[in-house]
């Protein structure tokens, strides 16, 4: 039996249940989370398994579904598996990235009945099977209409049925009410009299003092007001603050972390060797990459230049297009990224700060752990999204401190000059006036399997997309981003900011 996975927002559940029932009548095994998840199951694993075993992926489009992180991750995963995607426009919305080249089927209101056959055609049902399924579908609609008509007639007939007034019960309720009110009033009357006649007595061990002097009002001394500072709670993992640009900043505590890698078995450059413990003071790191909307604030304030290009590698309109406000800003040189961070009261992170923010203190290879990213529920890489994706799209791929997209989406500028390890912050690599290449971190959505070296700004040839998004992998680019090898240039480079913690 052909299995169909339905991706949707819970706010559209009524339509989804109807769709699933109609698809089951047509002979499909319709799977959606509320119907396919058993108690005690790991829902994320079950959803991945369901998408893998489905021959078709139906996504119900609405303003709520395109804003859902889970729907976005499910769409990316279906793209990764090359499962046929059938978008259904249930409520008007902007078609999300990756689906704008796929023809959607309009199922708004009465269009669902009209285009039901088109849904079956898109799901590969043969002509004779479609006609039979449509006949059953229409018969069901007709039966539902007749049932509704009978229900309405019954309601109208009920309006004319004589109703026998139960006057005797009304009299009983009335008498009970009067009795309760009377008894309550008597109780309150005697209680009040008793309280007014009983004088207070001194408590045990106390002397009653009766004041017989003339009452005079004596002013009490006025307290001296001093500014009291409420101690702030101890900062730790999970502490946040909001920047002037609306960015959420995450607190990274002071301490050692494992920087670099001990893996010398790789065929790639060993510029991240060896692994060593490195101490950092506490600092703040941006939760996401800086977005188009945030960068535009700095441009409007006259402190930042416009991006070098206003498109993206796969979109003719990007920076000025309101559909992409929450996507990472790209085509910004190192100096432009630095200017933005300074305008926002922050700075670019050092290479070491970036790596600690991505991998934490346990030496993990990726932000989520040591497992390779076989699922793009974790990140946007290896051309799965076809371009940049919305920041905060991949909650399962967050770093130990809660930072998004520390792997994939776009490469990120750091403040550090590209120099070999061992890493020392005072060896000249943090010279902001130097003009040499700066370190890039994190990998991006882009990977070209035919011209492997084109996927990264570096001198080596990288043939493994998983390697490019490791938290310890280093790359570099000239400060204007032009070289040496990427055809996408700064179109796959963005940035985030950092800030010293007091």
* pLDDT, tens only, 141-156: 555 545 544 454 454 4
Q: Is residue 158 part of a domain?
A: no
| Extended strands (E) in 19-76 | 29-31, 56-61
**pLDDT per residue as tens digits for the range 220-267:** 333 333 333 333 468 899 999 999 999 999 999 999 999 998 876 555
The answer, as to whether pTM is greater than 0.85, is no
Q: What is the mean pLDDT of the chain?
A: 79
Low-confidence ranges of the chain (pLDDT < 50): 145, 148-150, 152-153, 155-167, 169, 194-232, 452-460, 484-487
Q: Is residue 78 part of a domain?
A: yes
Q: Is residue 100 part of a domain?
A: yes
Please report where in the chains the tokens 């179109």 appear, as a residue.
491
Q: What is the largest CA-CA distance in the chain?
A: 107
Please report where in the chains the tokens 């043939």 appear, as a residue.
463
CB atoms within 10 A of CB 88: 27
For position 198, what pLDDT does the model report?
A: 41
For position 456, what pLDDT does the model report?
A: 40
For position 352, what pLDDT does the model report?
A: 96
d(CA 230, CA 421): 44
**pLDDT per residue as tens digits for the range 153-190:** 454 444 444 444 444 545 555 566 666 666 766 665 55
For position 39, what pLDDT does the model report?
A: 60
Please report where in the chains the tokens 């959505």 appear, as a residue.
445
For position 268, what pLDDT does the model report?
A: 57
Degrees to nearest 5, angle at CA 362 with 356 and 367 = 55
The domain tally of the chain equals 2
At 204, phi and psi to the nearest 5?
-55, 135
d(CA 332, CA 490): 7
d(CA 194, CA 289): 74
d(CA 249, CA 347): 12
- Domain stops at, among 140, 170, 197: 140
Residue 30 lies in domain: 3-140
133 and 259 share one domain: no
CB atoms within 10 A of CB 131: 13
CATH number for the domain including 471? 3.90.1580.10
- Domain stops at, among 140, 168, 196: 140
Least Cα distance to 71 among 126, 21, 8, 15 occurs for 8
- Domain stops at, among 84, 111, 140: 140
Sign of the CA dihedral running 104, 108, 111, 113:
positive
Q: Is residue 117 part of a domain?
A: yes
């Amino acid at each position: 039996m052909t299995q169909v996975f339905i991706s949707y927002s819970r706010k559209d559940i009524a339509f989804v249940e109807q769709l699933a029932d109609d698809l089951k009548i047509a002979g499909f095994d319709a799977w959606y989370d509320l119907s396919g998840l058993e108690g005690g199951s790991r829902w994320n694993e079950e959803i991945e398994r369901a998408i893998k075993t489905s021959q078709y992926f139906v996504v119900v489009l609405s303003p709520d579904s395109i804003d859902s992180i889970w729907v976005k991750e499910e769409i990316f995963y279906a793209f990764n598996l090359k499962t046929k995607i059938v978008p259904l426009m249930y409520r008007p919305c902007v078609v999300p990235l990756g689906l704008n080249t796929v023809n959607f089927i309009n199922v708004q209101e009465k269009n669902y009945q009209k285009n039901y056959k088109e849904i079956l055609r898109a799901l590969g049902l043969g002509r004779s099977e479609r006609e039979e399924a449509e006949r059953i579908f229409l018969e069901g609609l007709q039966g539902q209409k007749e049932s509704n008509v009978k229900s309405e007639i019954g309601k109208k007939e009920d309006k004319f049925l004589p109703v026998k007034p139960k006057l005797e019960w009304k009299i009983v309720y009335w008498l009970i009410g009067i009795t309760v009110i009377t008894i309550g009033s008597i109780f309150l009357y005697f209680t009040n009299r008793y309280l007014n006649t009983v004088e207070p007595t001194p408590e045990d061990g106390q002397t009653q003092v009766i004041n017989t002097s003339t009452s005079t009002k004596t002013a009490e001394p006025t307290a001296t007001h001093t500014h009291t500072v409420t101690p702030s709670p101890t900062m730790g993992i999970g502490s946040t603050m909001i920047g002037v640009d609306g960015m959420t900043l995450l607190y990274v505590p002071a301490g050692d972390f494992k920087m670099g890698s001990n893996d010398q078995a790789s065929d790639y450059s060993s510029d991240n060797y060896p692994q060593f413990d490195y101490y950092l003071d506490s600092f703040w790191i941006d939760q996401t990459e800086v977005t188009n909307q945030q960068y535009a604030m700095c441009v409007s304030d006259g402190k930042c230049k416009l991006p070098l290009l206003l498109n993206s590698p796969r979109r003719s309109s990007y920076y000025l297009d309101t559909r992409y406000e929450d996507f990472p800003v790209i085509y910004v040189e190192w100096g432009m990224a630095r200017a933005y961070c300074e305008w926002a009261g922050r700075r670019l992170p050092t290479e070491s700060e970036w790596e600690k923010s991505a991998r934490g203190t346990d030496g993990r290879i990726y932000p989520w752990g040591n497992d390779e990213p076989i699922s793009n529920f974790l990140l946007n890489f290896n051309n799965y999204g076809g371009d940049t994706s919305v920041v905060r799209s991949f909650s399962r791929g967050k770093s130990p401190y809660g930072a998004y997209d520390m792997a994939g989406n776009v490469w990120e500028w750091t403040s550090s000059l590209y120099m070999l390890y061992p890493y020392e912050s005072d060896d000249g690599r943090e010279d902001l006036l130097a003009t040499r290449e700066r370190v890039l971190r994190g990998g991006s959505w882009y990977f070209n399997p035919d011209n492997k070296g084109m996927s990264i700004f570096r001198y080596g040839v990288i043939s493994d997309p998983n390697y490019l998004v490791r938290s310890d992998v280093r790359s570099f680019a000239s400060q204007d981003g032009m070289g040496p090898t990427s055809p996408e240039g700064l179109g796959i480079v963005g940035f985030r900011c950092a800030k010293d913690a007091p």
